[in-house]
Chains A and B, each alone.
Chain A
Amino acid sequence: MRAKVISTLAEEIKEEMDGFDEIKIMHLCGTHEDTITRYNLRSLLPKNLKLLSGPGCPVCIIPDYDLQLVFHLIKSSNIIFTTFGDMARVPFEGKSLFYFKSKGYDIKIVYSIFDALEIAKISDKPVVHFGIGFETTMPSTALAILDGIENFYVFSSHRFFVPAVEHLLSANIKIDGFINPGHVSTIVGVRAYEKLNKIPQVIAGFEPEDVMLAIYQLVKAIKNGENKVFNEYKRAVKYEGNLKAQEAMNEVFRRQSWEWRGLGVVKNSGGKIRKKYEDFDALKAFEDVFTDFEVKEDSKKRACRCGDVLKGLIEPSDCPLFMKACNPKNPVGPCMVSVEGACNIWARLG
């Protein structure tokens, strides 16, 4: 069944694209890149249809600045630091959270923020959780903060994704249509993208047939000039999204203009913990620690083109370090570290 659906959609896309100019479609989620590469979907598309990978990997877009702050915090205070595994491997000057763990710092890898809460409940030490991710993850961080555990703090590197879509639309990059991230969309809904009506967008699920249908819908919309948001992932995405999750997220976080790797500063995209909850904000609770903090540049990443990969300007294999100096065992940039990073996905599945 699956093979038949995919091949039918591939034929329909080919037919629509026949004699048409080049079209560039960008997807905005690491999991979409995984599906596309795993099922080799690019090979089923006509040559005049380019499928680019965008800034949809939450680990990849966190700039070195955040990483340096976290390393500084770990080195200068007596805390338990909890993080998702992917984030623990991102290097700065060749050192990662795993490196610090191996040096005896109390760093714990958790599957969920609630595991971090459980650790805090039984510990005398302060527990700081590395809050990363887009609107998909922010509600869970918000709930954890709202639980009000006294020795629990969050270092927020959360980013709101919808402002990044807006940012890409105003940047000088040729994109004809977006495949919007399915999981972010379960939270923000179809509604969140409606004001960004410069190009057609399709919210898509993660099966290969979902992605192919989304491409088909986009090609038709691009041809017809329908700059609307289509919802292919109706089984999980509602028009208004998850209101309860939005409420929790907006209660705890406010929007600030924060930097993204590759994109630079994205207006109103940073998930800053509100003043009301500053007792749980690691940046506030440990502010003394940061008085002697200095920003540095990572000379080891100078040749890394992760930023261009995240903007869809190059493909991973265009980076001169790809599978040479940079590979999944020895990653240079975060795009090679995260299982959702385009370089890592191409290295494993390409």
Chain B
Amino acid sequence: MCLAVIGKVESIEYPFATVDFRGTKKRIRIDLIDDLKIGEYVLVHVGFAIQKVDSREVEEYDKVWSDVISNLQL
């Protein structure tokens, strides 16, 4: 039950939002997050968003990790 999943905010009807989890859409509560905008990513746990997630790290995942690796090997 501690599992949480990252999804993208599709629409907002405060305190709810429709969040897309790779094709599966779910209505979740967002009243613990400030200034949430459509298109942002959230971490969702038992039906509510617990934190925003940096979109660059989601969308450019491979680039972020190849940077990590090259920094290690400097």
Contacts and interface: CB of A to CB of B under 8 A. Distances in A.
Interface residues of A, number: 50
Interface in A206-257: 209, 213, 216, 234-238, 242, 244-245, 248
Interface in B31-70: 31-34, 43, 45-48, 50-54, 57-58, 62, 65-66, 68-69
14 contacts: A8-B69, A9-B72, A12-B72, A31-B2, A87-B1, A112-B46, A136-B4, A140-B46, A181-B2, A183-B4, A186-B50, A209-B65, A237-B51, A338-B1
A137 B32 contact: no
B2 A58 contact: yes
B57 A242 contact: no
Contact of B46 (A111, A187, A209, A338): A111
Contacts, number: 113
Given A237-B51, A244-B34, A186 B46 contact: no
Given A58-B2, A186-B43, A234-B54, 5 more contacts: A58-B1, A134-B2, A137-B1, A140-B29, A236-B53
Nearest to A114: B47
B46 A113 contact: yes
Interface in A170-212: 181, 183-184, 186-187, 209
A140 B2 contact: no
A165 interface: no
A187 B34 contact: no
A114 B66 CA distance: 40
A87 B73 CA distance: 45
A132 B1 contact: yes
Given A235-B57, A245-B32, A115 B3 contact: no
Size class of the contact patch on chain B: 20 to 34
Interface in A93-122: 111-115
A295 interface: no
Contacts of A115: 47
B1 A84 contact: yes
A340 B46 CA distance: 14
Given A58-B1, A140-B29, A245-B32, A112 B51 contact: no
Contacts of B47: 111-115, 140
A2 B1 CA distance: 26
Contact of B31 (A8, A58, A113, A143): A143
A262 interface: no
A16 B33 CA distance: 40
A237 B50 CA distance: 10
Given A181-B2, A244-B32, A136 B45 contact: yes
A59 B50 CA distance: 20
A58 B4 CA distance: 14
Interface in A123-147: 132-134, 136-137, 139-140, 143
Contact of A136 (B50, B54, B72): B50
